[in-house]
Chains A and B, each alone.
Chain A
Amino acid sequence: MTETAIGIKDLAFGYKPSKPVVTIQEFSVAKNTHTFLHGPSGAGKSTLLSLIAGILTPQSGTIEIFGETLSQMKAAQRDRFRGDHMGYIFQQFNLLPYLSVEENIFLPLTMSPAKKNRSSSPASEIDQLLDALNIGDLKHQSVGSLSIGQQQRVAAARSFMGQPKLIIADEPTSSLDFDNRKAFIECLFEAAKSAGATILFVSHDHSLSSLFDASVSLSEINRQP
């Protein structure tokens, strides 16, 4: 695996330019790998993910995703790029409570024509994902009746919908108990394998690092000048 999914060079970002939060000289994630990024709370993990997702723009430096440089894109292009090529899982509250499980999973296709095109048969794709994530029986349930673990799996299913090449997960297991964490990550890998997706997984919990191909400490790469 030599191709890079994410390549970061000389990155500097602060919510206020005078106060940098993320300063990374070099960081890369290889394609089709599962990378674990850990760091204490407040280290700037979520901020880095927002930069990679193209929602925040760095003050300096470049971020390349699958060979495309985000900083060269206009804001609208970055939004589209994210919609077309990425899936995102939050720590919690991933789902819209007024939509059903199925509608929530289907949501990315309504936003991205590229994802919609890739998904030749959305109905069977949803079924496959639900199977892979072990939640086949939840399809028609309302979001409000799901446990947090189930919600996170539905969120994972949604992130894979439309076959994006990069899945970004921001502490998706932090609100789960230990057994559930492991099971969740295994399901995530299972789904990633069949989709051929790269996973960047963020957590403050070191104990999970052994499950991943690579493990990076944000504190090590994030050096304040």
Chain B
Amino acid sequence: MFKIIYKSLMNRWFTALLTVLSIGLSVSLLLAVENMRKGTKEGFTQTIASTDLIVGAKGSPLNLLLYTIFHMGSPTENISWESYQTFANGKDIDWTIPLAMGDSHKSFRVIGTDNNLFEHYKFGRQQSLTMKSGSFDLSTQKVVLGSTVAKTLGYKVGDEIIIAHGTGGGVSFHYHDDKPFSVSGMMAPTGTPLDKSLFISLESMTALHADDDHDHDHGGHADASENEHDHEGHDHGDEHEGHEQEGQDHGDEHEGHDHEGHDHGDEHEGHDHEGHEHDDHSAHEDMEKPELAAFLLKTKSRVGALPLQREINDFEDEPLSAGIPGIILSDLWKGLSYVESTLTGISVLVIVIGLLGMLITLYNSLNERKREIAIFRSIGASPLYIFTLLISEAGILSLMGAVTGLLLSNGVSILVADYLRENFSVYLSLGVSITDLAIVGLTVCLGLLLGAIPAMRAYRQTLQDGLTIKI
């Protein structure tokens, strides 16, 4: 029987091929959408992998995460170095990654951190950070670039860059232009917001602000007066292409400098509102530690994370809050789930349309195939045989279509997986997953269901019409 179905299909190979292709394309669309959906979700929820807690000032952990990791929203309060030390040196702590913020470079954020970031930060499928060139060297006046920063601004290892105080969004910029940082390394793409960040050591960040005060005491005047005449006066030689980017902030800056012009003596007050306290003008060496926006921590025993979270939330010396990044990210993702279901819904409809195409083709072929059916009946085929013949054909077409779709989506996935992972942190799964098989199975079932319509019609006709072939 299958030989007959095969030969019969081959006789109509062109329509069969078109049918298989149309089902294949629609199935591959659904598979691709599903794969993308899962991959995007995985990439997103695993932006911070293997971290038990993110700790920051009291407030919503979601805000904390958005600000520190995704560079979205406004800063919460900072937390003190002492509090950080308290928990960083706790007994069940595997590692901690400090995160200080507040500076930027050409609208990319500068993060003050330490080598723990490079050593312990994991993203996606437990991947570690890797360097594309140079090394993760955060010694004094060294900066490490995220891949997007490096690519967009075209920096090389050894280039010198200027870091500005403030992160935009109404905060006054202040260029630490006499303290250029030299690029020590550039990271490989992670597909996470780290790509859009620059990294300096906590000490450098502190020194930057300490030196700031010093600068303004002596050279601030010149700077400010220069600014009055020339808006771009602060743009030094090594900031080659910064003009337009910084141009929009000149107004702000002007105000900022005006302000500074009046209060040279207590310059640090101007910094106070941005969370940096420099009580001791002379102690701007390495002893001073900046406050942290947040820190990530991992416990030695996973089970310790929950009690620790409670402990941090109840910390008496300073109001802190701790959240579990995976859970926060999943919750955030759920808020977007309607986009997912819409996409999935559309792709399911596309499959139904593909199968309806098959239904139409099979239904149309029934008339031409009346003689075929009559011949089978004449040699003793039962109506059930005719039904089986036609429905098997629908089954074979949809199975071949679904498998084509599977191959197609897998082929495309293999081609684009690396690109999507590096640029969009979308983790496509290669190979055949349970979901893939379920989709293939459902497509075949749906194909059989729709194939039953023409098969049923042939079944009835063959019962009613006898052996007369009306053409």
Question: Do they bind each other?
Answer: yes
Asked if A97 is an interface residue, CB under 8 A from chain B, the answer is yes
State the 7 A-B residue pairs at the shortest beta-carbon distance, nearest first: A83-B380, A50-B466, A98-B11, A88-B378, A79-B382, A93-B371, A108-B379
> B378: which A residues are within 8 A, CB to CB?
53, 82, 88, 90
Q: B7 contacts which of A49, A50, A93, A99 (Cβ < 8 Å)? A: A99
- A84-B380, A98-B10 known, 18 other contacts, Cβ within 8 Å: A47-B466, A49-B467, A53-B467, A55-B377, A82-B379, A88-B379, A90-B375, A90-B378, A93-B371, A93-B469, A96-B7, A96-B8, A96-B375, A98-B7, A98-B8, A107-B375, A107-B379, A111-B379
Give the shortest distance, in Å, between B386 (CB) and chain A (any CB).
Answer: 10
With A96-B372, A98-B7, A98-B11 known to touch, is A90 a contact of B379 (CB < 8 Å)? no
> A158: which B residues are within 8 A, CB to CB?
379
> A82: which B residues are within 8 A, CB to CB?
378-380
- The answer to whether B10 touches A55 (Cβ under 8 A) is no
- The answer to whether A46 touches B466 (Cβ under 8 A) is yes
Interface size on B, residues (CB 8 A): 25
A166–B376 Cα distance when bound, in Å, is: 17
- The answer to whether A94 touches B375 (Cβ under 8 A) is yes
Asked if A1 is an interface residue, CB under 8 A from chain B, the answer is no
With A47-B466, A50-B466, A98-B11 known to touch, is A93 a contact of B471 (CB < 8 Å)? yes
Asked if A73 is an interface residue, CB under 8 A from chain B, the answer is no
A163–B467 Cα distance when bound, in Å, is: 21
Give the shortest distance, in Å, between B458 (CB) and chain A (any CB).
Answer: 14
- The answer to whether B466 touches A111 (Cβ under 8 A) is no
> B433: which A residues are within 8 A, CB to CB?
none
With A90-B374, A93-B371, A98-B10 known to touch, is A50 a contact of B467 (CB < 8 Å)? yes
Q: A79 contacts which of B4, B381, B466, B471 (Cβ < 8 Å)? A: B381
Asked if A56 is an interface residue, CB under 8 A from chain B, the answer is yes
**Chain A interface bracket (under 10, 10 to 19, 20 to 34, 35 or more):** 20 to 34
Between A15, A55, A56, A75, the greatest number of chain B beta carbons within 10 A of the residue's beta carbon is seen for A55
Closest to A80 in B: B380
Q: B467 contacts which of A46, A80, A83, A112 (Cβ < 8 Å)? A: A46
- 1/0 contact trace for A84-113 toward B, CB 8 Å? 100010110111111100000001101110
- 1/0 contact trace for A21-32 toward B, CB 8 Å? 000000000000
A158–B380 Cα distance when bound, in Å, is: 13
Asked if A123 is an interface residue, CB under 8 A from chain B, the answer is no
- The answer to whether B379 touches A112 (Cβ under 8 A) is yes
Closest to A77 in B: B382
Q: Which of A93-143 contact B (CB under 8 A)?
A: 93-99, 107-108, 110-112
Task: Sample 21 A-B pairs with CB under 8 A, ordered by A number.
Answer: A46-B467, A47-B466, A55-B462, A56-B466, A75-B383, A79-B380, A79-B382, A79-B383, A80-B382, A82-B379, A82-B380, A91-B469, A93-B371, A96-B375, A98-B7, A98-B11, A99-B4, A108-B379, A111-B376, A111-B379, A112-B379
